[in-house]
């Protein structure tokens, strides 16, 4: 890995842990995504790993390591088949000193509750995954889901997706890394609840027509460039919401 900092120019070798530090106070939602040059978010296998790189995975691991919660949409869980979040012995003391639980929890947004309950993430995680659904979900599906996860019903996450962030904050889960997909990220962005976009640009043409996020904005949203790192043709960008009162 020969990670270099393109912007802001410092002349120093970037340190991933400080380049991707979390703000100390308050709720912070950072979107963590990899995108091909033609705007796709997965390769021809329908998964993001095929457009990713070892450095991309290292950065994702670092961001997860000091997060409270990894938030994803149900289709991402169905496509990517997430594994349990690891309790990393080497960072345990540091997590505890920052007031974090011993491992991040996985949170999944799903209206259908059609999730792969047989995956180890539901039976072997340090903390049982949280599934956020609507109050009008199917009762039989909710009973089944409750056997495998901490099921949270929110009045209307379709018209008020910001409630997803509010419910996690109320549970004390404030460092939220949203790893997609396009539908969930679009809903949270339109609701003005994404503070930061950590987007890796992969030197790949994927040709599968999937965009980074799905949202029909009324007007273009302005973001502030925080950094650009590069490694082996990958650009790792970090953009902050320009109108956010908070700073990272």
Distance of CA 181 to the CA centre of its chain: 8
Tokens of 35: 């995108």
User: Is 110 near ligand NAP (CB under 6 A)?
Assistant: yes
* Contact assessment for residue 183 and residue 32, using Cβ atoms and an 8 Å cutoff: no
Reduced to 3 states (helix: H, G, I; strand: E, B; else coil), residue 162 is: helix
Sole binder of ligand NAP in the list 20, 29, 100, 179 (CB under 6 A):
179
Please select the residue that binds ligand NAP; options are 180, 193, 196, 229, rule is CB under 6 A. Answer: 180
Cβ contacts of 83 within 8 Å, gap of 6 or more: 119, 120, 121
Query: What's the angle, vertex CA 77, arms to CA 100 and CA 145, rounded to 5?
Result: 85
Q: Which of 53, 68, 161, 193 binds ligand NAP (CB under 6 A)?
A: 161
Q: Does 42 bind ligand NAP (CB under 6 A)?
A: yes
- 239: part of which helix (H) or strand (E)? strand 234-241
Asked if residue 223 binds ligand NAP (CB under 6 A), the reply is no
Residue 184 engages ligand NAP in binding (rule: CB under 6 A): yes
Among candidates 49, 11, 9, which has minimal Cα distance to 200? Answer: 49
Of residues 77-106, those binding ligand NAP (CB under 6 A): 79-80
Does the protein bind ligand NAP through residue 128 (CB under 6 A)? no
Q: How far is the CB of 213 from ligand NAP (least distance, A)?
A: 8
Site residues (CB under 6 A) for ligand NAP? Answer: 33-34, 41-42, 46-48, 72-76, 79-80, 109-112, 114, 157-158, 161, 179-184, 187
């Amino acid at each position: 890995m020969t990670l270099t900092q393109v912007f802001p120019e410092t002349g120093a070798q970037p340190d991933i842990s400080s380049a991707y530090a979390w703000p100390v106070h308050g709720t912070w939602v950072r979107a963590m995504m990899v995108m091909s040059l033609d705007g796709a978010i997965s390769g021809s296998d329908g998964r993001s790993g095929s457009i990713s790189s070892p450095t991309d995975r290292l950065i994702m691991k670092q961001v997860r390591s000091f997060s409270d919660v990894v938030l994803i949409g149900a289709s991402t869980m169905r496509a990517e088949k997430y594994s349990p979040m690891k309790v990393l012995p080497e960072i345990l003391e540091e997590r505890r000193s920052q007031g974090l639980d011993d491992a991040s929890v996985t949170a999944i947004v799903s209206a259908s509750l059609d999730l792969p309950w047989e995956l180890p993430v539901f039976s072997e995680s340090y903390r049982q995954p949280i599934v956020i659904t609507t109050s009008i979900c199917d009762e039989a599906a909710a009973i089944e889901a409750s056997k495998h996860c901490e099921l949270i019903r929110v009045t209307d996450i379709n018209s008020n997706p910001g409630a997803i962030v509010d419910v996690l904050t109320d549970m004390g889960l404030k460092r939220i890394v949203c790893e997609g997909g396009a539908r969930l990220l679009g809903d949270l962005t339109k609701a003005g609840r994404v503070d930061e976009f950590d987007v890796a640009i992969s030197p790949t043409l994927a040709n599968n027509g999937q965009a980074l996020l799905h949202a029909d904005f009324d007007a273009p949203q302005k973001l502030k460039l925080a950094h650009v790192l590069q490694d082996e043709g990958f650009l790792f960008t970090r953009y902050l919401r320009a109108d956010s009162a908070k700073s990272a």
